[in-house]
Structure 1
C-alpha cells in the first residue's frame, strides 16, 4: 500500500464532508451575513476601546455613575453594543448605551460613536468636542478629518481602525500604546 495517498484521501474526504454539511445547512450557514458581522465587530471594538483609554481624573464621576457610550445614527451597532455590555463593567462602572440624535447633550458621554452618514454633523461641533474628554469614533472614509479620533476602516473585508493623535491629546485623553500598536494607521498630526 502506498502510504502517501492515505492522508490525501482523508483530507479530501473531510473537505467533501464539510462542503456537504455547509450545503445541507443552507446559504445562511455557508455564507455569513457580512453587515451583521461588521456591526458585531465594531460594537466589540467600541466596548474594548474603553479599556485602553485614560480619561482625566474626575471626568467619569463617582463609581456609581454609569459609563456611557453614545451612539449617533447607527442602530445596528447600538443593538449589538447593548448585547455585548449587558452585565459587564468598565472601570468598575455599569455601562449604558445611549442612542443619540443630532443636538442631544453629550455631557454624560465618555465614548461617542458616529455612524456612516452622520459624521458630517461633527464638523460644526469639532472644536467643542475636542475640548472635552470624549472619545469620538467614526466609520467614514473622512471620519478623522471631520473630528473623529478613531475611525473604522474595512481592509480586505476586515474591520480595522486608524487613530488621529492630535485631537486625542487636545481632549485630554490618553490612549494605551497597546491600542496604538494594533491600529492600521496612526496619524501623529491633525487630519
Structure 2
C-alpha cells in the first residue's frame, strides 16, 4: 500500500508543478511584453521622421501583438510629454498610411516581404522580435542578451525607410 501512496504523492507533486509552470511562463511573457512596450515608446523619442513638425504625434501600429498594444495604450494615456502617442492594431494587409512605428509580432515571417515593401521610403520604423528580422529588411530587432531585452539596428534599412535614429540610440544597440 505504501508504494502506491508514494507514487500518488509524486504524481500530485508533478501535476502541481505542471499547473504552476504555465502561470510562471505567462508572467515571464507579460514581463517581456511590458519591456517591449518600454523600448517601442523609447524609440518614439529617439527617432526623427521626414517633414516632422513640432506638433507631430506618433502613430504606433502593431501587428499580432495584443499584449504589447495594451501596455502601449496605457502608456499613451498616461504620457504627459510630447509627442503624443496613438496606438492602433493592424494586419499585414492593411494600409500603413499615417504609421510612424510598426511593431511586427511573432508569426508574421511569411508577411515580412510585404511589410518591408510598404515601409520603404514611407518614414516607418519597423520593429520586430523574431530572429532574422533586421537581416530580412526590418530596422530594429529586439533580442535577449544576458537575460536582458536589447536591440539590433540595421541602419541601411532605417535609411531606406526614411527614418533617422538618434546617435544615442545607435550607441545602445548591440551587434550580432
TM norm structure 2? 0.78
Alignment-derived partner of residue 166 in structure 2: 176
* Matching residue of 1:78: 69
Contact 1:149 1:167 in 2 (8 A): yes
Larger Rg: 1
Question: Retained in 2: the 8 A contact 1:119–1:138?
Answer: no
Q: C-alpha displacement at 1:105, in angstroms?
A: 1.0
Which of 93, 101, 120 is equivalent to 1:111? 101
Give deviations 1:79-138, integer Å, cap 9, x for gaps: 111112213266x34311101122111111100000111143121342331121100000
RMSD: 2.3
Q: Structure 1 unaligned segments of length 5 or more: list them.
A: 1-26, 187-191
Distance 1:131 1:85 in 2: 26
Q: Deviations over 1:15-61 (max 9, x none)?
A: xxxxxxxxxxxx9xxx7921111000000100011111111114xx7
1:1-191 map, 5 Å: 33-58=27-52, 63=55, 66-88=57-79, 92-185=82-175
Stretches of structure 2 that go unaligned for 5 or more consecutive residues are 1-19
How many residues are paired up? 154
Extract structure 1 runs of 4+ deviating beyond 6 A: none
- How far apart, in 1, do the equivalents of 2:60 and 2:80 lie? 12
